[in-house]
C-alpha cells in the first residue's frame, strides 16, 4: 500500500457527483431574472467538527466544501440562489447521539431545504432513517450490504434518501482479494467509532467474510497507528483497511510503513 493522500483524493473526487445529486434533487423552476431566483439553503452534518477535529480533517472538509459549493453554484445559478449557511453546518461531535441530534435539527429546520451528510458515520445514520422529510445527500456509504442501506434496483427506494457507494461490494472485494492473496484469515482495520456508532457494520463485515470463505478479525483504530499495528499477530496473513476518518496524515504514513515493513498484503477501501 502506497502513499497517504489517496483517502484525500477519493473524498475530493466525490465533489462532482455530490453536486450532480444536489442539482437533481432540487425542484423544477421556471427561469427568471437573477433577482427572482428562489433561495435554496443546504445544511451539513459533519461526523466530527469544531475542537474535536484534527487539522487534516479541517483542511479536507474545507477543500471538499469549496469544491461542492463552487460546482453546485455553477450548475444551479440560473435557477436558484443556492446558499450553504455557516450556522446550518453542524457537528456530530464523533458520537451517535451528536450526529442524530444534528440531523434532526436540520430536518426540522424550515430554513434548510436539503441536508448533506459529510462523512461515513453521518451517512450511515442517515441511511438507517425510515423517514426523511426533505432531500438528504449521503455520499460516504461504505457498503450497501454491510450497512444494510435501503436499495431498490438502481436507487435507494426511499423518498428523499440519496447516497453514493462504489459499485464493487465489500463481499466482492473480499472474494477477489482472497483469490489474489490466498488467505484464510483477514484482519480488518477500521475506525473504532464505526463499531460504536454502527455495530452492525462490523458484524456484517465479519459475516460477509465468512460467506466469502474466510475468517475476519476486527482491529479498531483511533487517532494513532501504534495500537492497531500492535494488535496484528505475528502470523497475520492479510489486512483490509476500511475508512479511517480520524487518522491524520502522519499516523496514516506510520500505519502504512508498519504494514509494509512486515510485508503484510494489504488492501484499502479507498484504493
The band of 4, judged by pLDDT with boundaries at 50, 70 and 90, is very low
Rounded distance, CA 137 to CA 19, Å? 10
More confident residue, 125 or 109: 109
pLDDT of 197 higher than 70: yes
In the predicted model, what is the mean pLDDT of residues 143-152?
74
CB atoms within 10 A of CB 107: 19
User: How confident is the model at residue 5, as a pLDDT?
Assistant: 46
81-96 confidence digits (pLDDT tens):
999 999 999 999 888 8
Most confident of 2-11, 69-78, 95-104: 95-104
| SS3 label, residue 236 | coil
In the predicted model, what is the mean pLDDT of residues 209-225?
92
pTM over 0.95: no
| Cell reading at 77 | 445559478
Rounded distance, CA 126 to CA 45, Å? 10
Find cell 464523533 and name the residue.
94
Rounded distance, CA 9 to CA 245, Å? 13
The band of 10, judged by pLDDT with boundaries at 50, 70 and 90, is low
Residues above pLDDT 70, as percent of the chain: 87
User: How confident is the model at residue 24, as a pLDDT?
Assistant: 85
User: How confident is the model at residue 213, as a pLDDT?
Assistant: 92
Amino acid at each position: 500500500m502506497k502513499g497517504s493522500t489517496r483517502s484525500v483524493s477519493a473524498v475530493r473526487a466525490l465533489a462532482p457527483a455530490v453536486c450532480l445529486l444536489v442539482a437533481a434533487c432540487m425542484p423544477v423552476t421556471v427561469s427568471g431574472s437573477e433577482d427572482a431566483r428562489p433561495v435554496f439553503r443546504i445544511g451539513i452534518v459533519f461526523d466530527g467538527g469544531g475542537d474535536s477535529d484534527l487539522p487534516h480533517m479541517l483542511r479536507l472538509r474545507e477543500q471538499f466544501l469549496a469544491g461542492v459549493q463552487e460546482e453546485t453554484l455553477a450548475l444551479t445559478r440560473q435557477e436558484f440562489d443556492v446558499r450553504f449557511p455557516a450556522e446550518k453546518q453542524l457537528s456530530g461531535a464523533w458520537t451517535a447521539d451528536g450526529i442524530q441530534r444534528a440531523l434532526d435539527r436540520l430536518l426540522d429546520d424550515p430554513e434548510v431545504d436539503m441536508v448533506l451528510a459529510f462523512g461515513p458515520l453521518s451517512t450511515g445514520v442517515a441511511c438507517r432513517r425510515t423517514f426523511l422529510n426533505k432531500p438528504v445527500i449521503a455520499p460516504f456509504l461504505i457498503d450497501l450490504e454491510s450497512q444494510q442501506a435501503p436499495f431498490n434496483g438502481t436507487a435507494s427506494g426511499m423518498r428523499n434518501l440519496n447516497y453514493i457507494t462504489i459499485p464493487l461490494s465489500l463481499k466482492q472485494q473480499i472474494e477477489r482479494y482472497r483469490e489474489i492473496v490466498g488467505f484464510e484469515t483477514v484482519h480488518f482495520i477500521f475506525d473504532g467509532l464505526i463499531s460504536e456508532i454502527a455495530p452492525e457494520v462490523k458484524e456484517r463485515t465479519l459475516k460477509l467474510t465468512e460467506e466469502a470463505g474466510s475468517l475476519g478479525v476486527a482491529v479498531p483504530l483511533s487517532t494513532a497507528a501504534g495500537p492497531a499495528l500492535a494488535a496484528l499477530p505475528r502470523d497475520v496473513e492479510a489486512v483490509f483497511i476500511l475508512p479511517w476518518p480520524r487518522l491524520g496524515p502522519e499516523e496514516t504514513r506510520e500505519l502504512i510503513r508498519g504494514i509494509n515493513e512486515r510485508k503484510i498484503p494489504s488492501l484499502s477501501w479507498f484504493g
